[in-house]
Amino acid sequence: MENKDDNKPVENKNLKETWKNLKQFLFELLDIRHGTDKEGTIEDIKENISIKGHTAWVLIFSVIIASVGLNVSSPAVVIGAMLISPLLGPILGVGLSIGTNDIDTLKRSLTNFGVMVGLSLLTSFLFFLLPIFRNETPELLSRTSPDVRDVFIAIAGGLALILAISRRTKQTNTIAGVAIATALMPPLCTAGYGLAIGNMSYFGGAMFLFTINTIFIALAAFGIVKYLHFPMVKYLDSVKRKRIAQLVSFIAFLVFAGSIYLFFNLFKENQFKQSAENLITDLKKSGLSIIDEKDEDLNYKAKSIKIYVYGKKLSSEEINSWTAKLPEYGLKDTKLIIEQGVDSDLMHEVQNLTDLYVQNQKLISSRDESLKEKEDKIKLLETELEKFYARQIPFAQISKEAQINYSGLKQLSYSRRYKTNFKKIDTITVFSAVWDTSVTNKTLEEIRLKKWLKTRLNLDTLIVNNR
């Protein structure tokens, strides 16, 4: 009889072999070190740092295109501007220089980054100063309030970008896609719009979104540069090398700490708004009618939620009950403000509007019926006129033609005769002809005249009288 314990070493060996093969497969699948062109990547990033000459003009034109797209609320135009924008160059330069202790490249990147931001703000500011381009659009407003999702987009975009650039064969589609996803250009244009209309809230929100994207793209580049062990810049002076390393490490720490701080704040704000929306949803389910909901009513900084209620009023006990439930929604230390003192006036206004709407609908309905009646009458009259004109004979023209055809015709008259057998009424066309005394055979002339009139007037029945 076979011993089961003898099979255990074989099974364990098979499991270990399978696990080893799986780890090897995953390593080959996810390995990013293979195919890295470190020297080429450093060279490419450094070449794209400078914002001057043609690059500056490309930046200006891309800002104008993006501003137009934001003004007309056209995502396609905004995407086109992001594709040609050179904004990513100095940001990648910052990440690379911090990762390789290259202080010269860091200074150059920060300088060009400052020039890039200033030039973009100035261009968009001047564009939106024109009165015809100052209207608010959904595309503009969507860039004034960043949330935690923008952080994930910036991190993922930065990682994808530096990985695409670091390959021997550049993945152009990936680079273009990152330029679109991270959306650096629209926030800068929106900030310029905020300056042009004097709205510092728009300016601050848009610059905050741009700062988030910038920091996390640079941080992603720094992380990949460190992970792939890009060569560090070496300095002959050991004291200088140590000082530079300390400076770069300090800058890296500031960037990293700032990133964590921004991410934490955005996460908490997003969590607060989501919890507040859950609370408002439950309030509505309880039978409350809430109107005039605005984003600013959910104030994270002031830790307050303001809602406007009409119709059913909440008693003090009910308000206290909902306030006591706030910690259950993760809204501890949050103030719930319920505005419901003016609902009688509001209901009166709503009723007035309802009555006015009903009256307008009645007027519109009455007007439509009146128009329909008039249209029916017009159609009836048109039909009667058509019948009338169809029965008319062009007597003036007929008399001229008859005078030409019949030289002995002295006089011609026309009438319509009505007769009835008391069952129906018939209408007969009657012509009376007076012939000259020189006409010898009036009967023959009458027959000829009658045939001609029947043919000319397309009549089946016709009477011609002679005198």
- pLDDT reported for residue 121: 92
Cα–Cα separations (whole angstroms), residue 161 to 39, 99, 139, 165 = 17, 16, 25, 6
Fold of 395-466: GMP Synthetase; Chain A, domain 3 (3.30.300)
DSSP β-bridge partners for residue 232: none
What are the DSSP E strand ranges found in 95-184?
none
Instruction: Report the CATH architecture of 31-233.
Output: Up-down Bundle (1.20)
Please name the helix (run of DSSP H) or strand (run of DSSP E) that holds residue 260, with its range, or none.
helix 238-285
The model's pTM is 0.57
Tell me the C-alpha distance between 44 and 308, whole Å.
56
- pLDDT reported for residue 173: 52
According to DSSP, the β-strands at 409-420 and 304-310 are unpaired
**In the chain, where the domains are located:** 31-233, 271-343, 395-466
Q: Do domains 31-233 and 395-466 have the same CATH topology?
A: no
Low-confidence ranges of the chain (pLDDT < 50): 1, 344
At how many degrees (to 10) do helices 88-100 and 238-285 cross?
130
User: Which position has the token pair 């330029």?
Assistant: 179
- pLDDT reported for residue 118: 92
- pLDDT reported for residue 238: 60
**Class of residue 66 by CB neighbours under 10 A (exposed 0-12, middle 13-18, buried 19+):** buried
Cβ burial 11-48 (10 Å sphere, 16+ → b, else e): eeeeeeeeeeeeeeeeeeeeeeeeebeeeebbebbbeb
- pLDDT reported for residue 133: 84
Q: Is the dihedral of CA 310, 315, 316, 321 positive or negative?
A: negative
Q: Nearest-CA neighbor of 62 among 74, 78, 76?
A: 78
Q: Which SS3 state, helix, strand or coil, does residue 55 take?
A: helix
- Contact status, residue 240 vs residue 48, Cβ threshold 8 Å: no
- pLDDT reported for residue 292: 62
- pLDDT reported for residue 126: 92
Please name the helix (run of DSSP H) or strand (run of DSSP E) that holds residue 431, with its range, or none.
strand 425-435
pLDDT in tens, 305-354: 887 777 667 777 877 888 888 888 888 878 888 777 555 455 566 667 77
Q: Which SS3 state, helix, strand or coil, does residue 138 take?
A: helix
Q: Which SS3 state, helix, strand or coil, does residue 223 take?
A: helix
